[in-house]
Chains A and B, each alone.
Chain A
């Protein structure tokens, strides 16, 4: 038995269009990932009870992808009014980010460290869970995760 899935290339481009005082700023930055063989793309509802939207662990299973195979993650708040508190958790530390209506957060690596009230670096650790807590009313979110 062998897989019939052939890993392919994921290309991610960030394009800024901004002309101020006759000068063009911003640009296009593209990163290419090779050998990308697995994907999880979903639109779901984030409620106000801080639900996990994806877990990163040792195996592919219900709501979880393999942390060691991480390549790319993007989450977009599809609500037109309310913000979401996004939590990135690495097993020890949590980082919270306000994802306003229509905003996107992308991750091109899964290593992070968060330190409260100290400048001392702890240690990088892989993100193990991403949760989305709707601030006021439930919000639709889209996320896209690609692994090798």
Chain B
């Protein structure tokens, strides 16, 4: 038995179009990720934050040691992008690396991209200890309205 999947390259381009005072600014940044054979892409609903940012986080994707429901292999990570599909409400994104949390505000129609899973966070001025993200979670910033998001995750 052998897989019939042929690993292919993922190409990601970020293009900024901006002309100010008759001068073009911005650029196109392209990164190619070679030999990928797995993908998860999904549009899902993320409920409200309920009582506040400290509660009601919804799991979006776990990075683990084996593929299973909602889990991808952390060591095979190549690329992740999440987009807030709501036109009004902000989406709070939480990254967890087994020790530390980072929470970012994602505006309506805005995206956040990860090209590497190594992160660290601190509230004090100490050295950096990178660890791979293990959980990606989210919540609507609204106490009453959920949001829909789209994410795509590509692994080797």
Q: Which secondary structure dominates where chain B touches chain A? A: strand
Contact B36 A20 (CB under 8 A): yes
A115 to B54, CA, bound (A): 12
A13 to B13, CA, bound (A): 8
* Cβ-based interface call for A136 (8 A): no
A17 to B25, CA, bound (A): 24
Contact B104 A104 (CB under 8 A): no
A102 to B152, CA, bound (A): 20
A118 to B79, CA, bound (A): 26
* Cβ-based interface call for A12 (8 A): yes
Question: Nearest chain-A residue to B100 (Cβ)?
Answer: A116
Residues of B within 8 A of A115 (CB): 100-103, 121, 123
A38 to B9, CA, bound (A): 36
Residues of A within 8 A of B8 (CB): 18-20
A86 to chain B, nearest CB (A): 10
Contact B111 A10 (CB under 8 A): no
Produce 1/0 per residue, A113-140, CB < 8 A to B. 1111111111010000000000000000
A50 to chain B, nearest CB (A): 10
Question: Nearest chain-B residue to A104 (Cβ)?
Answer: B29
Interface residues on A, range: 35 or more
Residue with the highest number of chain B CB atoms closer than 10 Å, among A76, A115, A118: A115
Produce 1/0 per residue, B17-54, CB < 8 A to A. 11111000111010100001111010000000000111
Contact A11 B13 (CB under 8 A): no
Question: Nearest chain-B residue to A4 (Cβ)?
Answer: B21
Contact A124 B103 (CB under 8 A): yes
Contact A98 B14 (CB under 8 A): no
A120 to B111, CA, bound (A): 24
Contact A14 B103 (CB under 8 A): no
Residues of B within 8 A of A27 (CB): 150, 152
A94 to B19, CA, bound (A): 33
A119 to B20, CA, bound (A): 42
* Cβ-based interface call for B88 (8 A): no
Contact B113 A105 (CB under 8 A): yes
Residues of B within 8 A of A21 (CB): 4-6
Binding site for B on A (CB under 8 A): 4-21, 25-27, 29, 31, 36-39, 41, 72, 74, 76, 85, 92-100, 102-106, 108-109, 111-122, 124, 142, 144, 146
